[in-house]
Structure 1
């Protein structure tokens, strides 16, 4: 362990306190290492440490930025915090479909608490959201973690979480017997059995913490078992404001619940009176791992470009002679990808000898913002500069890389391809006609070369009459074929970059609806191996279905192995 240093990520929500450091890395025992962020106050001293236990599944993606903000709010109050990924989740080791998931997640809370204590703090407080609250409370009841205070933020049982996730499942394909399918994640029958017994309300009598704050949703009835179990004088009840706007919406529409953030931070900071001590840092910036076949690879935290875009590099011990593969984050999500499939792909492809980096663009995931850039801005104009600059980082070497992205990430990849040397781009459900990219809008920029948004007259028409306006724009593109999305493919292919479009049938039609490009170019590009158009009904636009994830990632893997393996 060394003094807290290295890999400082300035947060867009902590610009007023530049001395705060966010140190990313792995920690824990061999074979079950977890990934997390140690957020330290100015001066790297603290008396209290806060353990931040996130929700699971798709809810974790929505809450990721909220927990990042909470960590910085606590650091401003002199509290060091550790936010982390449970085993088999995010960038931690293990797989989502490993057996005994619930026990592993509870053990993750225990391991993270022990590591937080190893920094030197005298007290550990905790906060858990949704199923993270149940995991933290269960670990406390078992005596594995001793919390000085515990905030249960919108707590739920395993049964409740599965039921609500199943109600939002986008797939029409029945899951395996006993399994539960939710957006992005499939819970195996074994995991479902374990989750059904995970419930704070059914925990036997016993202390959880000297002080407990419970924030429940006003719009949902609180189970009687929970109110009876948490009825002691040490418990304070409150309202979890803004949870629906945080969790019950698509990730791109998620809003941080400011009122609850303040309440949780104040509760955790109360009573921290002992003198601070100098912190030690248990985080490791790299970790050697093994694939199921026994191949060794190392994952490392990397900083890309001048702004320091966040990335995780998966480098095999015996790399093949192939370009570095970059997986770009989608929308405002982080680099783990939908249903964690970016992590799964990185490690699987490392087994084949590929070097892979998964990364966040600025203002998204774990990357910082530019001055004046709002976090979570879709199709940010700053992305036009960030990615080409990042591709000059040493991790990419001298060989033109391969870029892979979904939706907005695929769009960024195509823009970078038009100004950088790129060997191939794999664009999953890319949208080139987003209205956000218009030149006269707030994210407008003359350096947008791949975007094909509606022109001003058609945009005004679609605002007044949506369907007629969109139809008119599509008809117009038949004549003004230089506005059709396929015209961007022409520019990219002329630069010598191979294009692979992995599409749902609905997304793919935009590249085939122009008679000019279909009759004169598409067939020739495909014949010459310059373009592959992989379309399947299994693919949904955000890759939230298991069949969509499987088909898309297996198709890309087959093509990578055919071209470079």
Structure 2
């Protein structure tokens, strides 16, 4: 054990045990952030450990939960593992340079392998890669020591083709968000607000493993997509090089990578991968002399100091505490995630906001709620955690951590479902000193509404439909059949029906479901007003959440005047995710203002 004396850190580093239901153990090395999952107590620790090699961008966001699930399955078989962020991604520092392109990421892979060997005392590795990570496994296995096996899931065979495919996927994501041509990231390799460094992109463009000369391991599991002949041919090539190749069709790939909010885990494939790795590791002998972490994982940048950590009962949650290097001021900020995005946020927005706050003297906490990203689910809780009261327990645990570190008071900030959790948590959390709610979908959940349906077919606002109808791109997509006309028409009709319901004489409101929901919303705002909790409501100008806001507070928002603690701001030219740089900068500034004002 090592005693810690610095501001915001624990008096005693609470060590390194892991059990099912706990988050994995944070580690830091070579300016990267990793999560180590040791073999579960009671198993014989294998001399083979698994090093995860992640995909990049949108695909990485969608597979984050899959990696956690596989790590836990491996641990139950006595196999330790490490998953980590490449430099310049996720929760790693931002001030990275990439001379020569891929060598910086390849050096990080080597450092991760060395760290894994040190942590668990193994001499052999099994590489598990997805997408670009699977290709890195093929290209880098020779420099990582003894590699017993490699799992290659949807490997990138041609870097040039991959970048073309990524550009098409990026356009689909931007179309889904309703971004105009001026709002899209141009001239760079990007997707979902994430930008691949130019040097990395140039190196990736030159990758081709069609005619690889050396197999990455003696045993290889290729999880290939059914319609990708190049992936099947790659498996044949590895076999011709002497590898024992097992082939597995990647059932459920599209459902996994289509959207992190609605991603469905490929259970059959996960089971096949876990069984294959366990069988390979079963003859590897026993690990010896592990060196478990003896101090907190710390990551530093120009003006911040971050501690990735586990917290809550049984260390069930994973998050990152971000502290200013200089004098601290204002209230701390709890940054709440949106949907199933990992704690770094959409386009790394939460990571960027945390470091902006630190540069201005404000501490913050960002974390994965239970069953999101790297935080495991709560036993017995519903699988669907969004818009559930259970997430308020996670917020309470974050406040407890801040209190333990002497970092109160704190304000809550979140977007969409994160804004909903911020609002609902502020009602009962007496330690909440303020709320910034960005594009809240609603303020009270209608139990008759299906969360899955709302997430998968989230309707647009009438204003957004009008805006899109004027675009030539919309006409092109309509003619080509890319727009689901019946669903769009149904969404419009439902919103028109909602408007008609709230236009009915008020005497009928108390008899309707709408009236009951409206009463609950106003009662909630009334409670916060009585406690003088400052709140900022921030909407993009065509966000669907505005439909409910107007339903509860009037077309002109006049009913909000009853709550002087609340300010409302509309951001022009922004999408639901607040993607434009100007919108991001505005949000960061508003959160900072709330943090500073709340401590006065």
TM-score using structure 1 length? 0.82
Distance 2:97 2:416 in 1: 26
Measured after TM superposition, the shift of residue 124 of structure 1 is 0.8
1:133-532 pair list within 5 angstroms: 133-141=134-142, 143-156=143-156, 157-169=158-170, 170=174, 171-173=179-181, 178-201=187-210, 203=212, 205-222=213-230, 226=234, 229-230=237-238, 231-236=240-245, 237-247=247-257, 249-272=258-281, 273-278=283-288, 280-283=290-293, 286-292=296-302, 295=303, 297-304=305-312, 308-388=316-396, 390-393=398-401, 394-395=403-404, 397=406, 399-421=408-430, 422-432=432-442, 437-439=445-447, 467-478=492-503, 479=506, 480=509, 483-484=517-518, 487=522, 488-507=524-543, 509-510=546-547, 511-512=549-550, 516=554, 518=556, 520-522=558-560, 530-532=565-567
SS of the counterpart of 1:353? coil
CA gap 1:433/1:351 in 2 versus in 1, 3 angstroms:
closer
For residues 126-156 of structure 1, the C-alpha deviation after alignment (integer angstroms, 9 at most, x for no partner) is 1100011112222124x24541111111101
Distance 2:228 2:390 in 1: 40
Which is richer in helix?
2
For residues 56-95 of structure 1, the C-alpha deviation after alignment (integer angstroms, 9 at most, x for no partner) is 1111111111111111221222211112222222223345
SS of the counterpart of 1:90? coil
Measured after TM superposition, the shift of residue 125 of structure 1 is 0.9
Preserved CA contact (<8 Å) 2:540 2:573: yes
For residues 77-130 of structure 1, the C-alpha deviation after alignment (integer angstroms, 9 at most, x for no partner) is 221111222222222334588666632222221111111122211311111000
Please report the RMSD computed on the Cα atoms of aligned residues, expressed in angstroms.
3.5
Preserved CA contact (<8 Å) 2:93 2:300: no
CA gap 1:363/1:140 in 2 versus in 1, 3 angstroms:
closer
CA gap 1:427/1:477 in 2 versus in 1, 3 angstroms:
same
Preserved CA contact (<8 Å) 1:26 1:36: yes
Distance 2:320 2:294 in 1: 13
Distance 2:313 2:326 in 1: 26
CA gap 1:432/1:281 in 2 versus in 1, 3 angstroms:
farther
Measured after TM superposition, the shift of residue 245 of structure 1 is 1.2
1:83 equivalent to 2:118? Answer no
Q: Which residue of 1 aligns with 2:15?
A: 6
Distance 2:198 2:46 in 1: 43
Distance 2:187 2:202 in 1: 9
Q: Which runs of 5+ in 1 are unaligned?
A: 13-20, 444-461
Preserved CA contact (<8 Å) 2:370 2:378: yes
Measured after TM superposition, the shift of residue 465 of structure 1 is 6.3
Measured after TM superposition, the shift of residue 184 of structure 1 is 2.9
Distance 2:450 2:180 in 1: 38
Preserved CA contact (<8 Å) 1:128 1:136: yes
Distance 2:132 2:407 in 1: 45
Say which structure, 1 or 2, has more relative contact order (CA 8 Å, 6+ apart).
2
Distance 1:159 1:124 in 2: 29
For residues 386-427 of structure 1, the C-alpha deviation after alignment (integer angstroms, 9 at most, x for no partner) is 423542342474843110112111101100111123221111
Aligned residues: 526
SS of the counterpart of 2:148? coil
Distance 2:446 2:559 in 1: 26
SS of the counterpart of 1:238? strand
SS of the counterpart of 2:331? coil
Q: Which residue of 2 aligns with 1:536?
A: 571
Q: Which moved more, 1:513-522 or 1:418-427?
A: 513-522
Distance 1:334 1:285 in 2: 24
Distance 1:429 1:188 in 2: 30
SS of the counterpart of 1:42? coil
Q: Which residue of 2 aligns with 1:70?
A: 70
Preserved CA contact (<8 Å) 1:46 1:277: yes
Measured after TM superposition, the shift of residue 264 of structure 1 is 1.8
Distance 2:526 2:208 in 1: 56
Preserved CA contact (<8 Å) 1:418 1:495: no
